[in-house]
Amino acid sequence: MFEYGASMDETLVDTSQAVEIAPRVWWVSSMLPHDNFQCHTYLIEQGDQSVVIDPGSALIDDEIIKNIDVVVGLRNVRWLVCSHADPDILGALPKMIERGLHPDARLVTHWRDEALIVHSGLALPYWRIEEHDWQLELEDRTLQFVFTPYLHFAGAFGTFDPVSGTLFSSDLFGGFTDDKSLYASSVEYFEAMRAFHEHYMPNREILDHVIQELRKLPIHQIAPQHGQIISEGLVAPIMDLLEKLECGIYLLAREDPGLAFLLAANETLHQVMDTLVKEQHFSIVATYLDGLAKLSLGADYLEFWSIVDDVVLQFDQSDGFTGHVALLPSDIEAAMSSPATSPNPMIVFALKSTDSLEVNGAMVMRFREPHEFDEATSGILLQIVSLVEVGLERESLFRSMEMQRTSWQARAVHDPLTGLLNRASLEDTERRLVVCL
């Protein structure tokens, strides 16, 4: 047996035997010589309450059982954590059951996984993590189960050992690699992860959400079911790279402009909503929309118009969408009351007051050629328009209040008949000059 801390060079670990990757935490699998998709099984040594995490492939079941027997003995394995229902996890279980597990052995899993695992015909009772507050109390630690839905299975989850700081991540952080080293030697391991995550994980949003949740854990190492173990110094940089990875449906978007727009628009909806909550300035929201209109829709120009108390404000690129007083063009005014239904180089979306529902503005996109949107794109744009109505109305009200305040100040210091500074204003100016002297 290789004991934890026995080698300073993790890349030289002898994988022909069990490897202690942290105190009482063992890698008990075996490397397939001609396979770039290694299946790793882990063991947490807990006497007759020992835990096997992701039991492993039928191709190496004898080697897995041999390594478990060397460390604790198969009959002391009571808990078998199955983070999803694929054969690379369940394959070794029939032989483990045949050789003799703990008499009260349990399959530890989520109900969604159980619904599939049950069809494998395994003669073991289930222990559902969601029915036990997502924790399993052991002799010297309490395992925490971390829900990672749809990565890559609806009921997928990881297992965190707070004592060793080890995250058993199942498919997450796994990879295809010809390198038979147990540990990743550098951040270049991410390239081995890339293809696996691109094609197995559904989309970037789900992946990003789970990575953000995992960052809250004090992780010292990541032990995936496939690929290589990630040591503490590589955890953060590899998470950083994984957050930016396009995967699943985003790969399809490379060849489908319509899908690309829908994904970009969905992301923009989240950004706009988040910005509306956090920011007061409409210019930031408009900048997001300007990028979406140009990059995803091919628009040449985007502008917004708002009418408050007979004051017309235009928001466009000329002032960074901060807004300025302008005259409303007649063609836009006409389109606000009766938008064109046929292809047109200028597409106008009427904006309505959130209170009165009266038209009080417009979002205008201009194209080089006559243009129209399909039904899906129009649906997304209508959602964006509803957010723009809220943000632009708020901005316009701020402007109206500012203009009124300025007007009141002017009235306070000017004579209403002559328009000249009044006596109070002149006396105030005199006092300030005297102070300065």
The position carrying tokens 């690929």 is 227
Residue span(s) of the chain under CATH 3.60.15.10 come to 10-251
Assign residue 362 a region: left if phi > 0, alpha if psi is -120 to 50, beta otherwise? beta
Report the half-sphere exposure of 182 (CA within 13 A, side-chain side): 25
Per-residue model confidence (pLDDT) at position 432: 64
> Which residues 6+ apart lie within 8 Å of 74 measured at CB?
65, 68, 96, 99, 100, 101
Transcribe 394-430 into DSSP letters: HHHHHHHHHHHHHHHHHHHHB-TTT-SB-HHHHHHHH
Contact predicate 104/78, CB 8 Å: yes
Query: Cα dist. 387→232, 269, 270, 274, 352 in Å?
Result: 42, 8, 11, 11, 11
CA distance 108 to 110: 7
CA distance 380 to 405: 38
Fold of 255-413: Beta-Lactamase (3.30.450)
CA distance 93 to 104: 15
Question: β-strands 166-170, 157-161: how paired?
Answer: antiparallel
Query: Cα dist. 251→137, 177, 200, 254, 286 in Å?
Result: 41, 21, 11, 6, 28
Per-residue model confidence (pLDDT) at position 2: 42
Query: Cα dist. 192→22, 35, 182, 211, 391 in Å?
Result: 24, 13, 13, 18, 44
Q: How far is CA 362 from the centre of its chain?
A: 32
365, amino acid identity: M
Q: Partners of 106 in the beta sheet?
A: 79
Per-residue model confidence (pLDDT) at position 78: 98
3-state SS string over 39-94?
A: CCCEEECCHHHEEEECCCCHHHHHHHHHHHHHHCCHHHEEEEECCCCCHHHHCCHH
10-251: CATH superfamily: Ribonuclease Z/Hydroxyacylglutathione hydrolase-like (3.60.15.10)
The position carrying tokens 């009260």 is 104
Per-residue model confidence (pLDDT) at position 21: 96
> Which residues 6+ apart lie within 8 Å of 253 measured at CB?
259, 260, 263
Per-residue model confidence (pLDDT) at position 7: 38
Contact predicate 350/359, CB 8 Å: yes
> Which residues 6+ apart lie within 8 Å of 364 measured at CB?
301, 302, 303, 304, 305, 332, 346, 347, 348, 349
Contact predicate 136/142, CB 8 Å: yes
Query: Cα dist. 358→282, 306, 327, 352, 361 in Å?
Result: 20, 12, 20, 5, 9
Residue span(s) of the chain under CATH 3.30.450.40 come to 255-413
Query: Cα dist. 163→72, 295, 429 in Å?
Result: 19, 48, 72
Q: pLDDT for 115-142, tens place per residue?
A: 999 999 998 999 999 999 999 999 999 9
Helix/strand/coil percentages in the chain, nearest 5:
45, 20, 35
Low-confidence ranges of the chain (pLDDT < 50): 1-8
CA distance 26 to 51: 10
Long-range contacts (CB closer than 8 Å, 24 or more residues apart) made by 31-35 = 31/180, 32/59, 32/60, 33/180
Per-residue model confidence (pLDDT) at position 36: 87
Q: Partners of 371 in the beta sheet?
A: 344
The most distant pair of C-alpha atoms in the chain lies apart, rounded to whole Å, by 105
The position carrying tokens 């979002």 is 363
> Which residues 6+ apart lie within 8 Å of 282 measured at CB?
304, 315, 321, 323, 391, 392, 394, 395
CA distance 436 to 426: 15
CA distance 313 to 328: 8
Per-residue model confidence (pLDDT) at position 65: 97
